[in-house]
Structure 1
Amino acid sequence: MTIKEILNTTGHRPWKLPAERWKYYQEWNNAVFLHWQVAYEEIRKFVPDDLEIDLFEGKPWVSLVAFTMEKVRPRKLPSFSPLSDFDEINIRTYVKHNNKTGVYFLSIEGGTKISCQLAKALSALPYRYSKIERRENIYYSENKQSNDKLKIIYQVGRELKEKTELDKWLLERYALFQDTQASINEFEIHHAEWPAFKIDLKEIKIEYPKFNELLDNSPDRIHYSTGVQVVAWDRKKYTKLAHKL
């Protein structure tokens, strides 16, 4: 799709596109989604008080998404493959802020050091470098500093022609929120609806000591997607409640 076509595809969005011009383009390709229903008191420990935990039928969820980031670029510049293309793993939960639903990242790992440094500097998102290897139907990562490991061997199945309400709730998110010491940063994004496929996990090994109470080797729901083309807007800062007092 062209960017104009992406911006004209809005029927699936929960609110209108921002009035401002978009700032970044990127692609999130060949994504493996692992989802867990978790205890509210456990996820609350990781999310700032300024953000409300979003619930599906009264329960919070956490997702691990392993994918390949490609063609990242500012609006008026071309992409540069050594910086623009890298594998990424994020662990996220679902939140609300200012009447918008979105995601909050507990962790973001990138497979290229300089790309992680640049992304963290530009966005203030919690990027960190991990050794990531991706081959056909295999995704492997290791971070020796935090003792984090991930290994997924999978087989992609048929496309989901109709998504359930839970599928849409987990996949279709058009804002992300992240905190700094003084502010909540909001990033609006837009893309066409995720194409979703069934996926068969042949082998799974998840070791994230920090998130032992949230992640295990038996996710409650899984998806695969070929990917989406994404436009993103500049961040908006909202002062944390504690700093308003």
Structure 2
Amino acid sequence: MPQPTPEQRLQLRERPLCRPVMYQSWQELLFLHWRIDADIIQRTLPAGLHVDTCDGAAWLGVVPFLMRNIRPWWFCSVPGISNFLELNLRTYVCDDAGRPGVWFYSLDASQPLAVWAARTFFRLPYQHARMQATVARESGHVEYRSRRTGTPEDAVSRFEYEPTGEVRTADPETFEFFLVERYLLFADLGGGRLASGQVHHVPYPVQNVKVTEWDSRIIELARLPAPGRPPDHAICSRGVDVEIFGLQGVT
């Protein structure tokens, strides 16, 4: 099973030479991670993708955050459309060439147009959800709520978190780097075809985080084993500005 080299992990941080298709800002991110058996994850992946492991295991990430200033390269952001909330469930993979990236099981979002566009143009498994968040901008304290459309009224995922300690970036070849420094996503085009899409941003400014409320319901919705325990790792970032590049065929 191929595994990325340290050089491959660093190489993807370089900005592509082509023009991005979109600009976005990702703000007030919480990264919650659970250790999970790599064989369980491998069975869920399409052909051509392989589990990217750290410390002998695969990792499931639940990431609530704010999407802001979303716009195509040729237009400005639009009030009511360009700002929304997102909650994604992800794991870490590499392709046959060893390129490391993210595989999304689901991406819940509060903006129906964004759900349609991401499904149509990026082939990502977006789901519409009713979501709300309050943010204390000075402290970074976040209260976050999400319920996927079609689930019971009481099936609300709740997160409450606040950054603590000094801001830092993840050092290469560390566990934090493995989790957050991901610049490639993979999408299943159907018919045995895979595509990849690259993003570019400065390395995440990350901090330790105090998590007073968390939820793993989104893992169960993906028909993956419920962890039944608090996250094995938690970290947060106040955010980055992001360039999004178009999909490229892999297989």
Is this a same-fold pair by TM over 0.5?
Answer: yes
Q: Which one of the candidate residues 152, 158, 162 is aligned to 2:159?
A: 152
Cα contact 2:60–2:89 (8 A) shared by 1: yes
Relative to structure 1, the CA distance from residue 232 to residue 218 in structure 2 (aligned partners, 3 Å threshold; closer, same or farther) is same
- Which residue pairs with 1:4 in the alignment? none
Distance 2:189 2:15 in 1: 25
Match of 1:60 among 49, 58, 61: 58
Decide whether aligned partners of structure 1 residues 140 and 229 sit closer, same or farther in structure 2, where only a CA change above 3 A counts.
same
Q: Does 1:213 align with 2:218?
A: no
> Quick one: which amino acid aligns to residue 128 of structure 1?
Q
Q: 2:11 matched to 1:14?
A: yes
The corresponding residue for 1:184 is 194
User: For 2:106, what is the secondary structure of its paired residue?
Assistant: strand
Q: Does 1:174 align with 2:183?
A: yes
> What is the Cα deviation at residue 215 of structure 1?
4.0
Identity of aligned residues (%): 26
Seen in structure 2, the aligned counterparts of structure 1 residues 215 and 85 have a Cα distance that, compared at 3 Å, is farther
User: What's the C-alpha RMSD, in Å, of the aligned pairs?
Assistant: 2.0
User: Offset at 1:201?
Assistant: 1.4
After superposition, the C-alpha distances for 1:74-123 in whole angstroms (9 at most, x for unaligned) are: 11211113221110001000011133111000110001222212222222
Distance 1:13 1:214, change over 3 A: farther
Provide Cα deviations, 1:41-85, integer angstroms capped at 9, x if missing partner: 221232112101101132111101100111111112111132211
The count of corresponding residues between Structure 1 and Structure 2 is 228
**Which stretch shifts more, 40-49 or 83-92?**
40-49
Distance 1:56 1:113, change over 3 A: same
Structure 1 residue aligned with 2:250:
238
1:159-200 CA distance string (max 9 Å, x none) = 343646101110001100011212211001110010111111
Match of 2:116, SS? helix
Alpha carbons of structure 1 residues 162 and 133: separation in structure 2 relative to 1, 3 Å: closer
1:113 matched to 2:112: yes
Structure 2: segments with no counterpart, 5+ residues: 1-8, 136-141
Task: Report the Cα offset of residue 216 of structure 1.
Answer: 4.1
Q: Check 1:141–1:123 CA distance in 2 against 1; reply closer, same or farther (3 A cut).
A: same
